[in-house]
Amino acid sequence: MPKRTDIKSILIIGAGPIVIGQACEFDYSGAQACKALREEGYRVILVNSNPATIMTDPSMADATYIEPITWQTVAQIIEKERPDAVLPTMGGQTALNCALALDENGVLEKYGVELIGATKEAIEKAEDRKLFDEAMRKIGLECPKAAIAETMEEALEIQSRFGFPVIIRPSFTMGGSGGGIAYNREEFLEICERGFDLSPTHQLLIDESLIGWKEYEMEVVRDKNDNCIIVCAIENFDPMGVHTGDSITVAPAQTLTDKEYQLMRNASVAVLREIGVETGGSNVQFGINPK
């Protein structure tokens, strides 16, 4: 890919403190992004609320702000620094949510700042459970039976159709926060209440359970010229039902047949194209019925 000459300065949004769902890999990728962009001659502005990271070292960026990662704070930094672009894909869920909030509140348009790495539409399609489900069906990939609930009444109606156990996942969260597996009504109500509170859109995806299926992940990199590479296939030691963040994983995958690998490879690339990932890496997760 040729270097873009229409932008001179880039604001990178960090991931903040290390917690489940946004761990030290975001610090590493953010530090590498700072190095690569500065080597290309771009001015790099960094905002991160965690001073105990590699990327907040004074030598990493041209300007570093250790501030809360909220859209209001980042808007003030944009007003002062006037970057040409914002790169949110190095900061996990925190950075993505902040970038969407900046767009929704008109900050990016006001200061003429471009969102790079992932567009608003791509982020929403990947994060919004309903849009993601529709996108997967469009490219012929099968997802677990699922339905969206925006109220507790809707959630209970969906559960009555799916039975137990069911998997509850809030929209716009990462690392499994707010979600869980319910085996009875009491657990279901508790997880739904927590999920509604944690989802910024007050929206839950309720899935049929695939507990016991084999779980695999593909790490894929794609650029704007549609060049795609599979970095590796990862196999979860634990079956589905144990969150991948809590599971031992092995790379490369050990028990995939060549046919299964090729199916997942092609599906992973199709997912990135449909979602609209233009640069950088993505993690695509699959469940395979062991029978």
The residue range of the domain holding 101 is 9-117
Tens of pLDDT, residue by residue over 271-281, are 999 998 887 78
Average pLDDT over residues 190-203: 88
Say yes or no: 42 and 107 in one domain: yes
151 found inside a domain? yes
Give the range among 41-55, 103-117, 160-174, 220-234 with minimum mean pLDDT. 160-174
Per-chain mean pLDDT for the chain: 88
Q: Counting Cβ atoms within 10 Å, is residue 142 exposed (0-12), middle (13-18) or buried (19+)?
A: exposed
1 found inside a domain? no
Is residue 22 over pLDDT 80?
no
Say yes or no: 66 and 89 in one domain: yes
Say yes or no: 22 and 106 in one domain: yes
130 found inside a domain? no
CATH number of the domain that residue 71 is part of: 3.40.50.20
Last residue of a domain, one of 186, 207, 228: 207
Own/partner pairs for 223-232, CB < 8 Å, 24+ apart?
223/1, 223/278, 223/279, 224/1, 224/278, 224/279, 225/1, 226/273, 228/269, 228/272, 230/265, 230/268, 231/281
244 found inside a domain? yes
Average pLDDT over residues 191-220: 89
Nearest to 94 by CA among 32, 49, 28, 131: 49
Q: Counting Cβ atoms within 10 Å, is residue 70 exposed (0-12), middle (13-18) or buried (19+)?
A: middle
Say yes or no: 34 and 94 in one domain: yes
Say yes or no: 168 and 198 in one domain: yes
Give me the pLDDT at residue 19, please.
Answer: 64
Split at pLDDT 50, 70, 90, the class of 130 is confident
Say yes or no: 43 and 100 in one domain: yes
CATH number of the domain that residue 241 is part of: 3.30.470.20
The total of structural domains in the chain comes to: 3
Is residue 269 over pLDDT 70?
yes
131 found inside a domain? no
Say yes or no: 13 and 90 in one domain: yes
CATH number of the domain that residue 150 is part of: 3.30.1490.20
198 found inside a domain? yes
Tens of pLDDT, residue by residue over 235-248, are 999 988 777 777 88
70 found inside a domain? yes
Tell me the whole-structure pTM to 2 decimals. Answer: 0.77
Give 173 or 195, the one with higher predicted confidence.
Answer: 195
Residue indicated by tokens 């859109």: 201
Backbone angles phi and psi of 224, in degrees to 5: -70, -15
Say yes or no: 227 and 262 in one domain: yes
Split at pLDDT 50, 70, 90, the class of 262 is very high
Say yes or no: 77 and 18 in one domain: yes
Say yes or no: 161 and 196 in one domain: yes
62 found inside a domain? yes
